[in-house]
Amino acid sequence: MNTSKLVMAAAALSISGTVLAGGTHGDGNSAVSGEPGKASDAARTITVEMYDNYYDPESIEVKPGETVRFVVENKGNLVHEFNIGTPAMHEGHQKEMMMMVEHGVIQGGKLNHDMMEMDMGDGQSMKHDDPNSVLLEPGQSEEVIWTFTDKSNIEFACNVPGHYQAGMYGEVNFN
Amino acid sequence: MKRSLLAGLLTLLMPALVLAGEYDLTVDRVKIDTGDFVKEGIGYNGASPGPVMRFKEGENVRINVTNNLDEMTSIHWHGLILPFDQDGVPGISFPGIKPGETFTYEFPIQQAGTYWFHSHSGFQEPDGAYGAIVIEPKGREPFRYDEEYVVQLTDKHPHSGDRIMRNLKMMPDYYNREQQTVGEFFSDASKNGLMNTIQDRMAWGDMRMMKADVEDLQGFTGLINGKGPEQNWTGIFEPGERIRLRFINSSAMTYFDVRIPGLEMTVVQADGNNVQPVNVDEFRIGVAETYDVIVRPKDEQAYTIFAESMGRSGYARATLAPEEGMEAAVPQMREPARLTMADMSGMSGMDHGDMAGMDHGNMDMSGSEGVSDMDQSNMEGMDDSGMAGMDHGSMAMGQDGSGDPFYAKGSGLMPMAASSCPTPT
């Protein structure tokens, strides 16, 4: 409960672009994965294809401060996510995604969009509209524009239950 | 013109591009040491279990099997798609391999995943003649891992397969150490009421079945990769690594409930087929099944792989650890389960009209499969009078899918307390 609240708070903070200092405990990594970028700042486009259950490519190189336009295509038969974050953020988000499966939002290869709008109380819904991620049905394609601020331990990952654990993640290497 | 020339060249080269692997297996008498007892058994290349055969999808394999026994043998490639005459079932696909002879199996590998092989002659398989098959796919694996281990389970019994069969044929509950007792009658009576308990006992008696008949064979030592619980097979990992565990149940009879306390497992493959990944704390593996799971131990500590038998009469144990010699706590086995009427009703679509004249004495329950494996075909001609007291209402017959949605359609699972059952007609 506490962690998911924390993660949600962290997500909210990252939306407003506020710089967070070390939200995770002890691992010395900054909890910041960057911030939403402007299309005009993106000098580079990276196409990321999603399959059942892996990414192609499985690692990308970025420079600190670089803004990248990701074109994410779901070429698999299942719903997949492309989410930029630290391992701890992904772990927190996996609980939310589990909830989405339990409530029938994610149904294997389909998304129940009505259910995503549903009022969960406390002003929450399961819209899955954070700017650091997209959740795509098979055949769909969307863009994520992201600015990688500082060097940190960042992965792009699919947090649909079981997918991250099976290895659906990719490394973001800073150079 | 140029293009067709090139194509022609490619076709000429094609046969050379197909990989061909040659493998040798000998079938030998071996010593099997479980830690609890030492037995003479049968193995491959001098050991039981035999080697892990590693193939590549698309490869043509030639496997030379030399029989060093003084009896016929055979190898069945469990789960592999191959020409029928390579399937290794004596009397059906080929005559068998005579003592001293070498038989060469030759077939294309058309699939990937985790499988196993075993003798298909007599009781050689429970006596130790089994090994693992790992097939690497043509393309990439649809998951990622840094390390992989085969975790091959078996139920090694001090008695030979022949002796077990003889005993079970004489008395199906010969090895049952979990019989119901008078004490259990009284405790059931105080819990469910005397009449309900009497009715329950009579219903089971009428069926000539036992609630305690969960496992035909008890008194075995569970082995993982040939090692007993005390010998503790250990797989080494670096904290943070993803490890693929290829579970294979090579038991003669035992279903295992497998868990690794402290680690979540993600099932990615079942019987060699990739599946939608599912996170589980525990899974049940039936005889001859394979499950591939991915685990990710993050801490510098040991984890116990604990596989207790479905009837809780024995267990296999192994360890995942950052270094050899480390151990984690080994849990106690849980209470043995009793069968319920729900276990007796796994016959979806069964037509009651067909059940007249069933003779329960003819039901072959003494073979290598337990009650839960009961084949619908065995139930043909079942006598309805023998079913008196059996609650038809609680039977998951699949006619109406409106039952408890928690249980999958046709799973045969729909437990209901005996006391809440409607009175049988």
Taking the C-alpha atoms of residue B166 and residue A116, their distance in angstroms, rounded to an integer, is: 61
pLDDT at residue A20 is higher than 70: no
Taking the C-alpha atoms of residue A71 and residue A47, their distance in angstroms, rounded to an integer, is: 5
Q: What ipTM is given for this predicted complex?
A: 0.79
* DSSP secondary structure code for residue B195 in this structure: H
Q: Are residues B110 and B22 in the same domain?
A: yes
- pLDDT band of A175, cuts 50, 70, 90: confident
pLDDT digits (tens, 9 = 90+) for A136-174: 999 999 999 999 988 889 999 999 999 999 999 999 999
Quote the domain boundaries for residue B158. Answer: 143-178+214-335
pLDDT digits (tens, 9 = 90+) for B217-255: 999 999 999 999 999 999 999 999 999 999 999 999 999
Taking the C-alpha atoms of residue B369 and residue B18, their distance in angstroms, rounded to an integer, is: 40
Surface-to-core class of residue A5, CB atoms within 10 Å of its CB (0-12 exposed, 13-18 middle, 19+ buried): exposed
Residues 80-119 (A) with a CB less than 8 A from some CB of B: 108
Say if B255 falls within a structural domain. Answer: yes
B26 contacts chain A (CB < 8 A)? no
**Predicted local confidence at residue B6, as pLDDT:** 56
Q: Are residues B220 and B288 in the same domain?
A: yes
Determine contact, residues B266/B293, Cβ cutoff 8 Å. Answer: yes
**CB pair distance less than 8 Å for B279 and A52:** no
Surface-to-core class of residue A123, CB atoms within 10 Å of its CB (0-12 exposed, 13-18 middle, 19+ buried): exposed
DSSP element (H, E) containing A9: helix A2-15
Q: What is the dihedral of CA A51, A53, A57, A63, to 10 degrees?
A: 120
Of the three residues B78, B110, B140, the one that is the final residue of a domain is B140
Select from A136, A158, A156 the least CA-distant residue to A61.
A156
User: In this complex, how many residue pairs, one in chain A and one in chain B, have their CB atoms less than 8 Å apart?
Assistant: 46
Determine contact, residues B188/B197, Cβ cutoff 8 Å. Answer: yes
The token duo for B402 is 């409106």
Residues of A in contact with B239 (CB under 8 A): none
Question: How many distinct structural domains can be found in chain B?
Answer: 3
**CB pair distance less than 8 Å for B242 and A51:** no
Q: Are residues B103 and B196 in the same domain?
A: no
**CB pair distance less than 8 Å for A108 and B276:** yes
Say if B67 falls within a structural domain. Answer: yes
Once rounded to an integer, what is the mean pLDDT over residues A105-130?
80
In angstroms, the first-to-last Cα distance of chain B is 82
Q: Are residues B162 and B303 in the same domain?
A: yes
The token duo for B320 is 């995942």
**Secondary structure (3-state) at B62:** strand
Looking at per-residue pLDDT, the higher value among A19 and B154 belongs to: B154
Q: Are residues B288 and B147 in the same domain?
A: yes
CA-nearest residue to A169 within chain B is B144
**Predicted local confidence at residue B317, as pLDDT:** 98
**CB pair distance less than 8 Å for A166 and B266:** yes
Say if B3 falls within a structural domain. Answer: no
Q: From 3.40.50.300, 2.60.40.10, 3.30.465.10, 2.60.40.420, which CATH number describes the A2-19+34-174 domain? A: 2.60.40.420
Q: Are residues B79 and B221 in the same domain?
A: no
Q: Are residues B268 and B152 in the same domain?
A: yes
The token duo for B2 is 């140029």
**CB pair distance less than 8 Å for A167 and B143:** yes
pLDDT < 50: residue spans in chain B: 1, 15-16, 347-401, 421, 423-425
Residues of B in contact with A168 (CB under 8 A): 143-144
Taking the C-alpha atoms of residue A154 and residue A30, their distance in angstroms, rounded to an integer, is: 10
Taking the C-alpha atoms of residue A21 and residue A11, their distance in angstroms, rounded to an integer, is: 13
User: Around B188, how many Cα atoms within 13 Å sit in the side-chain half-sphere?
Assistant: 18
Q: Are residues B90 and B191 in the same domain?
A: no
Of the three residues B110, B140, B170, the one that is the final residue of a domain is B140
CATH no. for residue B232? 2.60.40.420
Cα B127 from chain centre: 16
**CB pair distance less than 8 Å for B143 and A78:** no
CA-nearest residue to A94 within chain B is B279
- pLDDT band of A117, cuts 50, 70, 90: confident
Residues of B in contact with A107 (CB under 8 A): none
CA-nearest residue to A87 within chain B is B240
Domain residue limits, chain A: 2-19+34-174
Residues of A in contact with B268 (CB under 8 A): 166
The token duo for B96 is 């068998």
Q: Are residues B193 and B264 in the same domain?
A: no
Residues of B in contact with A51 (CB under 8 A): 142
A51 Cβ contact list (under 8 Å, min separation 6) = A75, A76, B142
A138 contacts chain B (CB < 8 A)? no
Place of tokens 């003889």: B166
Kindly report the average pLDDT of chain A as a whole number: 82
pLDDT digits (tens, 9 = 90+) for A54-96: 999 999 999 999 999 999 999 999 999 999 999 999 999 999 8
Residues of A in contact with B267 (CB under 8 A): 162
Once rounded to an integer, what is the mean pLDDT over residues A5-18?
43
Say if B1 falls within a structural domain. Answer: no
Of the three residues B86, B118, B140, the one that is the final residue of a domain is B140
CA-nearest residue to B295 within chain A is A165
* DSSP secondary structure code for residue B73 in this structure: B
